[in-house]
Amino acid sequence: MFRGARDRVIMHVDMDAFFASVEQRVNPAWRGRPLVVCGGGKRTVVAAASYEARPYGIRSGMPLYEAQRKCSDLLVVQADIPTYVDASVRVLQILQGFTPAVEVYSIDEAFLDVTGSLMLFRGAERIARMIQERIDEELRLTCSIGIAPNKLLAKLASGMHKPNGLQVIREEEISALLEDLPVEEVWGIGPRLATYLHEMGISTCGQLGRIPLGILERRFGLIGTMLYRMARGVDDSSVAPFGAAPDARSIGHSMTLDQDVQGKEEIAWYVFLLAEMVGRRLRSGGYAGRTVVLTLRYSDFCTFSRRMTMKRYITTGPEIHELAMRILDGIRLRDAVRLVGVSLANLVKGRVQIPLFEGERKGEELALAMDRVNDRYGEFTLSWGPLLGGRKGRVVPPSWRPKDGDLIHAIS
C-alpha cells in the first residue's frame, strides 16, 4: 500500500460519538433518538452528541440551553464517567491485540503504529476492518479509522467518513488532498490560529504550503516551522506506546460554576476542591510541582491565568490551595467569575527528598494516609472539613490515560 520498506503505517482510531453511543448501548430506549451527554452542573456544555442530534446543529462544546433550543425532544443524559472509562479500556485491549505500539490520545481516540504488524495480519486495511469488527462484536460500538504515513494525516483521514468509516491516505495522494483543504481542518490549527491565517489571506493548506518558511517563522516563530510542515502533510512524531508516554508537564482541573460568583470567599471553596483533586492526581502519579497556576473566567468569557512559583516542591491539596489563594488575593476581580481552574506545573517525578520541616513532613504524611483510605473506600471518603457536603468532581481531563489497575481482566 505504501512505497518503501521504511515507510510507516499509522492508524488513528476514533470512537464515534463515544459517550452518547455508550449511553445508547446502556439504555436501548434511547437508541435512534437525539441525545446529548453533559456534565452535572446547571450551566453545563454538551460533552457528546449522538448522530441523531447532529442534524439539529448540536455539537460538542455547545451550551446545553442552546442545544435544547435547537431540539425540543432532546434527551439530556448526565455523564457517567466509569462506564466510558471501562469501554475505553476494553477498546484499548482490543487495539493492543494488533500492535504493542498503541498511543492513547484521549478517552475515545488512539494512534497505532501497525508497520510491524502488516505481514502478520495481511495489510493495514484488513487490520482496520478487524478492529472495527472486534469493537462491534464485544461492545456494539462503532469507530472510524484513518490510515496514513503519519499521525497528522491519519487523524485527518479518520474524520473524513464518520461514522464507522475507513479512509486511507496514500503518499501519492497527499499534495492533491491538502491543496484545497481548509487550514482549520488540520489537527493542531485551532480557531485563533486559523483566524490569523485568514487575515493573511490563507484559507487552504495549499496556500499555506506556498508561503516561504522564512515568512512563517518571522510571523509565528517556532509555530511557523510547524505550520510549514503541516501544510505539506509532514509529521515525524512517533506513536508513544501506552506506558511509555512522556511525563506530564502540568496537572490541573477546572470547573464551570453553577452560577456566576462575585465573592472571593465562595471562589476559595472551589479553589480548595480543585487543589485537592490536583493533589490527589499528583501523588497517584508520583509527581511534585513548584508552580501553581490559577485560571479564572469572567461572565463575559474573558479568561486569564496567574501563576506563582515556590522554591520547594509541593504535593498536597492544602499547599496548592494556599498558594492559589495568595494568587487570588492579588487579583482585583472586575466581574463575576464563571469558571475556576487550578493546575500545578514545573513538575518532577519520583521525588525522594524528605521535607526539612516537621509541619511540611506531617502534611505530606497526612495526605498519604488519606490517600490510602480513599484508595480503599473510594474518592472523598476522607476529606477536609471545608469540602464536606460539596460536590465531588469526577471529570475526564484531556490527559486521561488508563491506570494499571484498569487493565485487569474483565470479569464479564
Q: List the interface residues with another protein, window 388-407 (CB under 8 A).
A: 405
Instruction: Name which of 65 and 377 has its Cβ closer to another protein.
Output: 377
Instruction: Name which of 141 and 293 has its Cβ closer to another protein.
Output: 141
Based on the shown chain and the rule CB under 8 A, indicate whether residue 411 belongs to the binding site for another protein.
yes
Separation of alpha carbons 189 and 211, rounded Å: 16
Instruction: Name which of 52 and 103 has its Cβ closer to another protein.
Output: 52
Binding mask 92-111 for another protein (x = CB under 8 A): --------------------
- Distance of closest approach, residue 142 Cβ to another protein, in angstroms: 14
Is residue 316 a contact partner of residue 362, using CB atoms and an 8 Å limit? no
Based on the shown chain and the rule CB under 8 A, indicate whether residue 201 belongs to the binding site for another protein.
no
Instruction: Name which of 25 and 264 has its Cβ closer to another protein.
Output: 25
Instruction: Name which of 50 and 117 has its Cβ closer to another protein.
Output: 50
Based on the shown chain and the rule CB under 8 A, indicate whether residue 412 belongs to the binding site for another protein.
yes
- Distance of closest approach, residue 36 Cβ to another protein, in angstroms: 16
- Distance of closest approach, residue 32 Cβ to another protein, in angstroms: 13
Total chain residues near another protein (CB under 8 A): 24
Residue 109 bears catalytic tag: yes
Q: List the interface residues with another protein, window 22-51 (CB under 8 A).
A: 22, 25-29
Closest CA to 241 of 96, 142, 379: 96
- Distance of closest approach, residue 94 Cβ to another protein, in angstroms: 14
Separation of alpha carbons 353 and 157, rounded Å: 47
Handedness of CA 27, 32, 38, 43 (dihedral sign): negative
Q: List the interface residues with another protein, window 138-177 (CB under 8 A).
A: 139-140
Separation of alpha carbons 313 and 341, rounded Å: 20
What is the arrangement of strands in the sheet containing 35-38, beginning at the earlier edge strand? 46-49, 35-38, 75-78
Is residue 131 a contact partner of residue 143, using CB atoms and an 8 Å limit? yes
- Distance of closest approach, residue 39 Cβ to another protein, in angstroms: 18
Question: Among 59, 70, 86, 93, which residue sits at the site for another protein (rule: CB under 8 A)?
Answer: 86
Based on the shown chain and the rule CB under 8 A, indicate whether residue 354 belongs to the binding site for another protein.
no
Q: CB under 8 A: which stretch of 62-70, 83-91, 149-157, 233-241 binds another protein?
A: 83-91
Handedness of CA 375, 376, 382, 387 (dihedral sign): positive
Q: What is the CA radius of gyration of the chain?
A: 23
Instruction: Name which of 55 and 378 has its Cβ closer to another protein.
Output: 378
Q: List the interface residues with another protein, window 111-140 (CB under 8 A).
A: 139-140
Based on the shown chain and the rule CB under 8 A, indicate whether residue 83 belongs to the binding site for another protein.
yes
Question: Among 87, 178, 288, 320, which residue sits at the site for another protein (rule: CB under 8 A)?
Answer: 87
Based on the shown chain and the rule CB under 8 A, indicate whether residue 78 belongs to the binding site for another protein.
no
Based on the shown chain and the rule CB under 8 A, indicate whether residue 91 belongs to the binding site for another protein.
no
Q: CB under 8 A: which stretch of 48-56, 143-151, 258-266, 369-377 binds another protein?
A: 369-377
- Distance of closest approach, residue 409 Cβ to another protein, in angstroms: 7
- Distance of closest approach, residue 398 Cβ to another protein, in angstroms: 22
- Distance of closest approach, residue 86 Cβ to another protein, in angstroms: 4
- 164: alpha, beta or left? (left if phi > 0; alpha if psi -120 to 50): left
Active-site entry in 23, 52, 103, 109: 109
* Chain residues that interact with another protein, rule: CB under 8 A: 22, 25-29, 82-83, 86-87, 139-140, 374-378, 381, 405, 408-412
Catalytic residues: 109
